[in-house]
């Protein structure tokens, strides 16, 4: 059990018939029914800078925050800025640039930023509290993946190792800009295509890495999965930086956490395993479809959506993911 799970278990459980999704840590956002055909989707996320440029950081943080609403098939409408900033130490222009980056992404998503809150903080932090809507019968959760489903991933893996290499000053500019391009890409098109093609379950890939989020999805759905490590798309440079040892702390924690929840084929190296658990920022959606749904999704998804089949759901309740090579 993680420290956070231990803390959350001590809180009183909410009993509200209109809270359709909210209790399970595997869920990306809360869903609260307002009427028979309208539910709220609510989520919040914020973190410390992953890139040096403040505007780009604002873009990435905003895209990441909106992602949880997209993962549930919701439409984000409004957002509040959440900011920690050392206002007496760093120039105010840096904060202005972070917020401009956030506004830029919000505008491109059709989301209105309606306010926010800033606290004095030694280390800058930024993100959004997002409110959206979804039909109360038609949201996508992590609970309904079924044996026989195909797993589709919509962005490449490796933002953790690439940004760690960037902090170490060894990342190639082309690799960084490709990682940034994906981190600032909204999961909106993927979400819309998913809603049009009858997905069974979905989650977005963020801090727990591909394997961590997949094993949570399996646990929530009461199924197991087979992940084909060779099919997983990687960012350019990711393998190289992982080999050089630029593994973020969160990735190491993830690897320890999933070790007893996954069985790994002998052909899969620890290096590959570290990428499969790499802590992602603003990662793609991982979606479970029946095979026809996966084909329809690939046809429908726009050019900014990868639609790569990385594995399948199999019967089982042990939440054990089998990684093949």
Contacts with Co ion, residue ranges (CB under 5 A) = 28, 45, 68, 204
Among residues 61 and 264, whose Cβ is nearest to Co ion? 61
Q: From the CB of residue 137, how many other CB atoms can be counted at a distance below 10 Å? A: 10
| CA dihedral over 125, 103, 167, 43, signed as positive or negative | positive
Report in angstroms how near the CB of residue 229 gets to Co ion at its nearest. Answer: 22
Measured CA to CA, the distance from residue 6 to residue 178 in angstroms comes to: 37
Q: How far is the CB of 3 from Co ion (least distance, A)?
A: 17
CB of 222 to Co ion, least distance (A): 20
> Judged by CB, which is closer to Co ion: 171, or 321?
321
Compute the least distance from the CB of residue 207 to Co ion, in Å.
Answer: 8
Q: Nearer to Co ion by C-beta: 125 or 246? A: 125
Min dist CB 217 to Co ion, Å, is: 11
CA 101 to chain CA mean position, Å: 19
How far is Cα 29 from Cα 142, in angstroms, rounded to an integer? 11
Closest CA to 191 of 44, 38, 40, 28: 28
| CA pair distance 25, 146, nearest whole angstrom | 20
Cβ nearer to Co ion, comparing 68 with 240: 68
Cβ pair 159, 282 in contact under 8 A = yes
Q: Between residues 65 and 229, which has the closer beta carbon with respect to Co ion?
A: 65
**Closest residue to Co ion in the complex (CB):** 28
User: Shortest distance, CB of residue 96 to Co ion, whole angstroms?
Assistant: 25
3-state DSSP helix/strand/coil % of the chain, to nearest 5: 35, 25, 40
> DSSP labels for 173-190?
HHHHHHHHHHHTS-SHHH
Closer by beta carbon to Co ion, 210 or else 264 = 210
In the complex, minimum distance from the CB of residue 230 to Co ion, in angstroms, rounded to a whole number: 25
Nearer to Co ion, 27 or 240 (CB): 27
* Max CA pair span of the chain: 57
CB nearer to Co ion: pick between 68 and 178: 68
State in angstroms the smallest separation of the CB of 203 from Co ion: 6
Helices (H), the chain: 3-8, 54-71, 92-108, 159-167, 173-183, 188-196, 209-221, 238-243, 249-258, 270-276, 291-300
Smallest distance from Co ion to CB 43, Å: 6
Cβ-Cβ contacts under 8 Å for 193 (sequence gap 6 or more): 297, 300, 301, 302, 305
**187 contacts 70 by C-beta, under 8 angstroms:** yes
Nearer to Co ion, 151 or 165 (CB): 151
């Amino acid at each position: 059990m993680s420290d956070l799970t231990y803390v959350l278990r001590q809180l009183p459980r909410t009993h509200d018939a209109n809270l359709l999704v909210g209790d399970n840590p595997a869920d990306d956002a809360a869903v609260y029914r307002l009427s028979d055909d309208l539910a709220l989707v609510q989520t919040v996320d914020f973190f410390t800078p992953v890139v040096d440029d403040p505007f780009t950081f604002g873009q990435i943080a905003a895209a990441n925050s909106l992602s949880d609403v997209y993962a549930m098939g919701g439409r984000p409408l409004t957002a509040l800025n959440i900011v920690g900033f050392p206002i007496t130490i760093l120039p105010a222009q840096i904060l202005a640039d972070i917020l401009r980056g956030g506004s830029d992404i919000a505008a491109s998503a059709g989301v209105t930023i309606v306010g926010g809150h800033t606290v004095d903080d030694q280390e800058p932090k930024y993100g959004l509290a997002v409110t959206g809507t979804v039909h109360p019968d038609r949201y996508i959760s992590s609970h309904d993946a079924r044996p026989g489903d195909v797993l589709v991933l919509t962005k490449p893996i490796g933002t953790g190792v690439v940004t760690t290499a960037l902090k170490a000053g060894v990342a190639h500019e082309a690799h960084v800009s490709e990682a940034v391009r994906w981190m600032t890409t909204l999961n909106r098109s993927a979400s819309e295509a998913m809603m049009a093609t009858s997905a069974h379950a979905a989650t977005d890939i963020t801090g727990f890495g591909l394997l961590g989020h997949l094993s949570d999805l399996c646990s929530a759905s009461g199924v197991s999965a087979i992940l084909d490590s060779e099919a997983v798309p990687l960012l350019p440079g990711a393998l190289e930086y992982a080999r050089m040892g630029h593994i973020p702390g969160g990735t190491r924690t993830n690897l320890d956490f999933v070790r007893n929840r996954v069985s790994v084929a002998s052909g899969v190296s620890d290096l590959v395993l570290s990428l499969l658990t790499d802590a992602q920022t603003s990662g793609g959606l991982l979606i479970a479809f029946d095979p026809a749904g996966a084909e329809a999704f690939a046809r429908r998804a726009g050019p900014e959506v990868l639609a790569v089949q990385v594995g399948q759901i199999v019967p089982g309740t042990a939440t054990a993911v089998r990684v093949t090579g």
